[in-house]
Structure 1
Amino acid sequence: MSSTHSQVRAVLLTALLVVTSFASIGSSAAQGERPTLRLGVAAADLQTLDPHFASGTQDRTIVDMVFNGLVRYVPGNAPDIEADLATEIPEPTMEGTSQVWTFALREGVMCHPSASTEAYELTADDVVYSLEKSANVDRSAYAADYAGMTVAKVDDYTVTITMETPLSPALFLPKVANYSGGFIVCSQAVEALGDEAFKTAPVGTGPFMFSQYNPQNAVTLVANDDYFRGQPKLAGVEARYIADSTSLQLGLQARELDVIDGLNEAQWVDQINGEEGLIADIFGAAEVTFVNFNTTVEPLNNPQVRQAIAYALNRDDFVALSGEPVAAPVYSVVPSEFMDGGLTQEEAAAADVEYAYDVERAQQLMEEAGFADGFEMELITSELDSYRRVYEVMQESLGEIGIELQINVVDHATMHE
């Protein structure tokens, strides 16, 4: 959202948690065969595998393996970015008041075959098509991020991206990285399949190719042995959709699954790590919970009300939902653990933007703002526990200063709309 219409307060950082059974993965490899990874996904079904709409973990888990960006976050060191479909990260130039980034593409990168198209070499046409699709509000959930961007083909292996408003590399490169609208789709396949069919039959250039989708059951991927970074070490990935966390855990313990999405709970992590052959791997930062204030509507257009809300929210209460080390407090929307420029607690305090928990100060600000008796406010949240529980903590906390929250719980896809 535009900074003129919203303000934010960072509250909680949650790490990414996966659990692996090494005994089951190793059994196939020991026989000299490439194993197929059986991945348990904590969802009832996918929402969409069109990368320009994918927002839930159950979708991004798949699209990350199927698509590439011009650049990518370095595996295992996500704050760093390196070239991917591009041969290198260019230095921008200025043409008048506009900024121009010129990307040279790798030659010989192959688009996967699909039900309607043969495999073919990715070119600048696909890059232009993809980024224009990302900027189209009817074909992308991330169109706002691509406003003011013009993409042009120079030749088959060169594209230029012109920004009306110049951006630093830290702000520009994520737009063309392997995330959200930065994924490059194969234009011939999208046009042949149509946008709707593409949502359940994605075609990209990544290490794994789409093979099959069984609704409310599984997505099967197979290795792309022509992958430009080399043949994958896995024969494929079978992503099984299992919404119930107990069933996921039982499947792992029975060695019917190799990897599952773990529960974001410190106690659960300790339990799993106590079982032979299982490892709960915590890494991140994965997700940051923060509060957006729409400053164009009453009473959130009153800075004292926004400050009161910030003071009334205790970071420790949110961390307690998962427990450390699964969760930790943060002090800026982009946490210092993730990227340079994020604020530490000390830096936030020095800048007078920490808003350490102080319910008395919050009540005082509410009175000064003319809301001593509080007010009502309606919020919408996802049905997913990881979202809903945060809103419930907020509901209880703000109730202490007279703000009555009505929480409407909807399915995850509806929330993103």
Structure 2
Amino acid sequence: MNHLKASLLATVMALPLAAHAETPDDVLVVAQNIDDIVAIDPAQAYEFTSGELVTNLYDRLVQYDAEDPTTLAAGLATDWAVDPENKTITFTLRDDAVFTSGNPVRGEDVVWSFARVIKLNLTPAFILTQLGWTPENVEEMVTADGNTVTVKYDGDFSPAFVLNVLAARPASVVDKATVLEHEQDGDMGNAWLNANAAGSGPFALQSYRPAELVRLTANDDYFKDGPKIDSVIIRHVAEAATQQLLLESGDIDMAKNLTPDQIDSITSDDIKVEVYPQSAVHFLSFNQKTESLTPEAVWDAARYLVDYEGMTNSIIKGQMEVHQAFWPKGFPGSYDETPFTYDPEKAKQILADAGVETPISVTLDVINSAPFTDMAQSLQASFADAGINFEILPGTGSQVITKYRERSHEAMLLYWGPDFMDPHSNAKAFAYNSNNSDDAYAATTTWRNAWAVPDDMNDMTTAALTESDPAKREEMYVELQERVQEKSPIVIMFQASYQVAMGEDVTGYVNGATSDFVFYRLVEKD
């Protein structure tokens, strides 16, 4: 970077809030609340913002990328061969990938990176340990010979499931030689990697000051197209009002944490707002321990008693969009049909035809904060139209979730998000419950609502996990979503959305359904 660019960047960072400036043409300046970061080492990073940083600093063997964050694509591996019988996937590494240190990416870097996650055993390690890897066996399960890496797994898994695990954050490949130079007391470089980076991604970490600033610079040796911008500066700005002021004054290019009201108040033609579907799905569920909620007609009627459009046009405008299946839109295998609309007359007819006596009185547990209490009040009003009367029971998040885990609720308004990008993550939660007894606790919506899932649906969920044909596997998950959508005591209503306000001249920004799919590589400022 030349002296003029450096001076411009310094000016941008030093500007008082009341000043007006234009950011440099080749620098994207972002205002964002980044105080959630605990760690940026990919073996430990588990927060929203840290996921965003890891994605832009590191690569994986296979990955979801900026061109299409819904499609699993080649990363550090150019191709791979699957042997489902021997539970083995063999990867061929590309020969043009280098770390930002200048070191080439080698097979031994992959082996060491995976083993490092397992041996450190920090928060996200569970994603990789699903494959049967332990500190004792991981270096036998993952081996390298030149530019060939062989991955073995232990379990009845579809290779597609395994590939999605290997596309997750903790499977990022780090520069072994550089990291070991900074090892302290056997920590495998963990302390150093929580202040620095050693990846091969599209950007290098130029500076990181917790709860203050992140500065990324373009990796000119990146093996894919881009980055198209020289630098990304992420300023920690906790206050949404300050973010709006900075954006409207031209001191930043992008504001990531504006409220819906602030979004609505933007009138400048120089600012646009993009909406990105997120991974959390929001649902209303009925505990099958409550006798009045066990008739299937109650489930069927409920789907026509949600004022979907009314809520998305008012109390959750910009925060959620209508989505009625358990796997989020924007993920491979999603089912995006929304057949249900608010129709209280149809709901009343369904109940009458089934001989369900009304009124029905039901308690509805909800987290005591916006927008959840507002959503509960909307449901209370719309369900009353058909004689289903909700008594709203607000509580703290921990109180509501504890009650849910105990199966002591009647109706519940809550949300669910996947741990990683594979449909089994949610299918197990919404379409599987092989043991409905009280002492068979499972962290699923099905068990928590005491829904004894039909045997054939349980079988399909298990079969989809092991199906080796990716296309057939996605079809199975679509069918599971259709079945849950049509007949279950869980009414999936919405998917979270994320609004980002940015300068009209900013193009190419990609924000997938999770923070792991935030990409700056294709950003340009016209």
TM-score (norm 2): 0.55
1:18 aligned partner: none
Matched residue SS, 1:111: coil
**Which structure 2 residue ranges, 5 or more long, are not aligned?**
1-20, 134-140, 381-388, 400-416, 418-526
The one-character-per-residue Cα deviations of 1:60-83 (angstroms, maximum 9, x if unpaired) are 332221111112224242212210
Q: 2:169 aligned with 1:180, yes or no?
A: yes
Q: Compared with structure 1, are the counterparts of its residues 255 and 126 closer, same or farther at alpha carbon in structure 2 (3 Å cutoff)? A: same
Q: Cα distance, 1:394 vs. partner?
A: 5.6
2:143 aligned partner: 153
**Residue 247 of structure 2 aligns to which amino acid in structure 1?**
L
**Residue 250 of structure 1 aligns to which amino acid in structure 2?**
L
Matched residue SS, 1:287: strand
1:11 aligned partner: none
Cα separation, 2, equivalents of 1:83 and 1:112: 19
**Residue 103 of structure 1 aligns to which amino acid in structure 2?**
F
Q: Compared with structure 1, are the counterparts of its residues 41 and 288 closer, same or farther at alpha carbon in structure 2 (3 Å cutoff)? A: same
Matched residue SS, 1:249: helix
Percent sequence identity over matched residues?
Answer: 19
Are 1:378 and 1:405, in contact at CA under 8 Å, matched by a contact in 2? Answer: yes
- Aligned pairs for 1:103-182 (under 5 A) are 103-113=91-101, 119-135=102-118, 138-141=121-124, 143-144=126-127, 146-150=129-133, 151-163=141-153, 164-169=155-160, 171-177=161-167, 179-182=168-171
- Aligned pairs for 1:2-401 (under 5 A) are 24=22, 28-29=24-25, 35-44=26-35, 46-88=37-79, 90-95=80-85, 98-113=86-101, 119-135=102-118, 138-141=121-124, 143-144=126-127, 146-150=129-133, 151-163=141-153, 164-169=155-160, 171-177=161-167, 179-191=168-180, 192=183, 194=187, 195-229=190-224, 232-261=227-256, 263=258, 265=260, 268-269=262-263, 271-272=265-266, 274-282=267-275, 284-291=276-283, 315-316=308-309, 319=312, 320-323=314-317, 327-346=320-339, 388-393=369-374, 396=377, 401=390
Are 1:50 and 1:202, in contact at CA under 8 Å, matched by a contact in 2? Answer: yes
**Residue 40 of structure 1 aligns to which amino acid in structure 2?**
A
The one-character-per-residue Cα deviations of 1:363-413 (angstroms, maximum 9, x if unpaired) are 99xxx9xxx87669696x9xxxxxx53443465568753462411489xxx
Q: Compared with structure 1, are the counterparts of its residues 271 and 355 closer, same or farther at alpha carbon in structure 2 (3 Å cutoff)? A: closer
Are 2:70 and 2:332, in contact at CA under 8 Å, matched by a contact in 1? Answer: yes
Which is higher, the Rg of structure 1 or of structure 2? Answer: 2
Q: Cα distance, 1:270 vs. partner?
A: 5.5
Per mean C-alpha deviation after superposition, the further-off stretch among 152-161 and 140-149 is: 140-149
Q: Cα distance, 1:41 vs. partner?
A: 1.2
Are 1:309 and 1:398, in contact at CA under 8 Å, matched by a contact in 2? Answer: no
Are 1:374 and 1:404, in contact at CA under 8 Å, matched by a contact in 2? Answer: no
Q: Cα distance, 1:106 vs. partner?
A: 1.4
Q: Compared with structure 1, are the counterparts of its residues 85 and 289 closer, same or farther at alpha carbon in structure 2 (3 Å cutoff)? A: same
**Which structure 1 residue ranges, 5 or more long, are not aligned?**
1-22, 30-34, 114-118, 382-387, 411-415
Per mean C-alpha deviation after superposition, the further-off stretch among 397-406 and 240-249 is: 397-406
Q: Cα distance, 1:245 vs. partner?
A: 0.9
Q: Cα distance, 1:84 vs. partner?
A: 1.1
Q: Compared with structure 1, are the counterparts of its residues 100 and 165 closer, same or farther at alpha carbon in structure 2 (3 Å cutoff)? A: same
Cα separation, 2, equivalents of 1:391 and 1:69: 37
**Residue 165 of structure 1 aligns to which amino acid in structure 2?**
D
Aligned residues: 352
**Residue 124 of structure 2 aligns to which amino acid in structure 1?**
A
Q: Cα distance, 1:330 vs. partner?
A: 0.8
Q: Cα distance, 1:313 vs. partner?
A: 6.5
2:455 aligned partner: none
Cα separation, 1, equivalents of 2:371 and 2:125: 24
Cα separation, 1, equivalents of 2:91 and 2:126: 21
Matched residue SS, 1:148: coil
Matched residue SS, 2:111: helix
Q: Greater relative contact order (Cα 8 A, min sep 6): structure 1 or 2?
A: 1
2:434 aligned partner: none
Cα separation, 1, equivalents of 2:125 and 2:347: 37
Q: Compared with structure 1, are the counterparts of its residues 340 and 243 closer, same or farther at alpha carbon in structure 2 (3 Å cutoff)? A: same
**Residue 337 of structure 2 aligns to which amino acid in structure 1?**
T
Q: What is the RMSD of the two structures over their aligned residues, measured on CA atoms?
A: 4.4
The one-character-per-residue Cα deviations of 1:241-281 (angstroms, maximum 9, x if unpaired) are 1111111111122222122215363x654544x41322222
Cα separation, 2, equivalents of 1:355 and 1:168: 41
**Residue 125 of structure 1 aligns to which amino acid in structure 2?**
E
Q: Compared with structure 1, are the counterparts of its residues 392 and 137 closer, same or farther at alpha carbon in structure 2 (3 Å cutoff)? A: farther
1:13 aligned partner: none
Q: Cα distance, 1:229 vs. partner?
A: 2.6
Cα separation, 2, equivalents of 1:75 and 1:108: 19
Matched residue SS, 2:77: coil
Cα separation, 2, equivalents of 1:329 and 1:377: 21
Matched residue SS, 1:82: strand
